[in-house]
Chain A
Amino acid sequence: MSATVLPGTTVPAQHVNLKLGPGLLQRSGAGEAGPSIVSTRAGTLNHSSNGSKWWVESNSRRYIPAPQESVIGAIVQKVGDGFRVDIGSAHSASLDGLAFEGATKRNKPNLKIGCLVYARVSLAHKDMEPELECFDAQTRKSEGFGEVKGGFLVRCSLKMCRDLLDPKHFLLPLLGARFPLEAAVGMNGRVWVNAKEPKQIIAISRCIEAVDPDGGRLDEAGVKVLLGALDI
């Protein structure tokens, strides 16, 4: 099921409705049986049980925008009717002033430079700068998107964010059982956390760094010892 692949490795993916996820590329074979599927990253090759979806699971620190992903960005500039937001990608994203729930020309959100927003990537094309929206596209309601006030921003690797979004991961429920907290996880390697006391916020931040596959790689038992040492 899981094998380590290097870039340039041909992958035996064959299916009628084949869907290739991140890290795989289809190369048209010149004069061979047909197109071949090649990996473009180093990581673990995974596929769904019926063999229709294949992808390479790997970790990375640099975010490449993809549509429909929720990200946390910081406002860096006000441009005309909208804002430029830093989401950690090569280019800043643009966030229109009207892309908020209940925003009209007269009633636009008043975001300052340095504010954090939890937004959804609505457009991510390699030739254009990414665009963000702070509401759900179908319902036009905020659904949790928008400005996040207070709290603290933690940076982590992309795999850590994917793990934190997984409901079966141990970290956030473990911390939430000890003290109330709020967290907004962005797919761009940023996590916003908030709790009542500064020492709790610091504990969450340290735990995220400790569990990060790119950092401490601690498991659940290690986190419990760490929390004991931090006196939480």
Chain B
Amino acid sequence: MSRLNGRQPHELRPIQISFDGLARVDGSARFSFGPIAALSSVSGPIEVRLASENASQATLEVLVRPLSNVPATESKALAATVRGLLTPSLILVNNPRTLVQIVAQALVPSGSGTGLDPKISNASAVTAAVVNASTLALLNSGSVPMRGVVCAVAVGRRKDGPLVVDPDAGDGALDAEGCFAFMFTRDGDDVQARCVWTNWKQGSGDEGVLSAARELASQAAGDVYAAIHANVEGMVNVKPAIVVLPTPKEATVMEVKKEKEEEMEIKMEF
């Protein structure tokens, strides 16, 4: 069995995380598995509409926007999913009668027909990227208390048998696939993962396949958790982000250098 770029069955595509600092929200982050990227923003606790007000806890609202067209059934279903799997990880009782609003934007076309083969869909990978981006945006905002960190990965079973993590076009059409989400907590060096959600679909086989897929996903989600931890360290211990330009003449020279540095930084982010 061979995968694109020599990937192992348990290996994810390169993860890129960045904290965008969007202007009018409280926290934002971008997450991608290789080319499958999602951007998410969090605002909250903010004022809530009287109709959605809850007297004992904050209302969590998730909005998912696809790359093109208005949000339709698929986006609304994904939004309901993300809301369901993030709710157990948030402590919403600290801020009753407020709203925590998460807006997630998929940065690739999602659903089937997104590549050469109309039967291959990247919906699971997009779901996983949206969940991870939302978790990162919540961590970036720092205003909603959390019980743990939710990480998600997509798993599929290839037609030739083996289970693979983060399936891409090179794995071909899959006869079983889905996304698993785990909530991570840590006690010293001991990291605990609890499965909080899955949409695993399989045509044939028994529960053993589901258990094996979940186990495989748990290991891969641990890699996502480790990447998130490393990037949050970078978010917390920051270095100067802007370069002050002393004079207009030097400014042109330094701007060109800064653009090159930015290009290199984006490539090196891992």
The total number of A-B Cβ pairs within 8 Å is 128
Contact A7 B246 (CB under 8 A): no
Contact A4 B95 (CB under 8 A): no
Can you show 24 pairs from A to B with CB atoms below 8 A apart? Answer: A6-B149, A6-B184, A6-B232, A7-B147, A7-B148, A9-B185, A10-B185, A10-B187, A25-B91, A40-B145, A42-B140, A43-B142, A44-B236, A61-B141, A64-B95, A90-B45, A91-B98, A215-B21, A217-B239, A219-B240, A222-B240, A225-B244, A229-B245, A229-B247
Q: Is A58 an interface residue (CB 8 A)?
A: yes
Taking CB atoms and an 8 Å cut-off, the chain A residues in 174-232 that contact chain B are: 210, 213-219, 222, 225-226, 228-229
Q: Is A127 an interface residue (CB 8 A)?
A: yes
Q: Chain A nearest CB: distance from B258 CB in Å? A: 13
Q: A7-B146, A8-B146, A225-B246 are in contact. Are A62 and B46 (CB under 8 A)?
A: yes
Q: Chain A nearest CB: distance from B134 CB in Å? A: 14
Taking CB atoms and an 8 Å cut-off, the chain A residues in 34-93 that contact chain B are: 38, 40-44, 58-62, 64, 89-91
A214-B238 Cα distance, complex, nearest whole Å: 9
Q: Is B220 an interface residue (CB 8 A)?
A: no
Chain B residue numbers with a CB within 8 Å of A127 are: 96-97
A8-B138 Cα distance, complex, nearest whole Å: 13
- Could you mark each residue 60-91 of chain B with 1 if its beta carbon is under 8 Å from any beta carbon of chain A, else 0? 00000000000000000000000000000101
Chain A residue numbers with a CB within 8 Å of B46 are: 62, 90
Chain B residue numbers with a CB within 8 Å of A228 are: 246
A210-B47 Cα distance, complex, nearest whole Å: 29
Taking CB atoms and an 8 Å cut-off, the chain B residues in 3-52 that contact chain A are: 21, 26-27, 43-48
How many B residues are at the interface, by size bracket?
35 or more
Chain B residue numbers with a CB within 8 Å of A215 are: 21, 241-242
Taking CB atoms and an 8 Å cut-off, the chain A residues in 91-147 that contact chain B are: 91, 126-127
Contact A61 B143 (CB under 8 A): yes
Q: Is B181 an interface residue (CB 8 A)?
A: no
Q: Chain B nearest CB: distance from A7 CB in Å? A: 4
**Which residue of the partner chain A has the closest CB to B187?**
A10
Q: Chain B nearest CB: distance from A149 CB in Å? A: 28
Q: Chain A nearest CB: distance from B145 CB in Å? A: 4
Contact A213 B145 (CB under 8 A): no
Q: Chain A nearest CB: distance from B52 CB in Å? A: 13
**Which residue of the partner chain B has the closest CB to A58?**
B142
Q: Which 10 residue pairs are nearest across A and B when measured between Cβ atoms?
A: A8-B148, A8-B185, A60-B142, A7-B146, A40-B145, A90-B98, A62-B143, A10-B187, A42-B139, A216-B242
Interface residues of A, Cβ cutoff 8 Å to B? 4, 6-10, 12, 23, 25, 38, 40-44, 58-62, 64, 89-91, 126-127, 210, 213-219, 222, 225-226, 228-229
Q: Is B186 an interface residue (CB 8 A)?
A: yes
Q: Is B199 an interface residue (CB 8 A)?
A: no
Q: Is B94 an interface residue (CB 8 A)?
A: yes
Contact B96 A59 (CB under 8 A): no
Contact B246 A6 (CB under 8 A): no
**Which residue of the partner chain B has the closest CB to A24?**
B145
Contact B246 A217 (CB under 8 A): no
**Which residue of the partner chain B has the closest CB to A211?**
B240
| Residue picked from B21, B43, B95, most chain A C-beta under 10 Å | B95
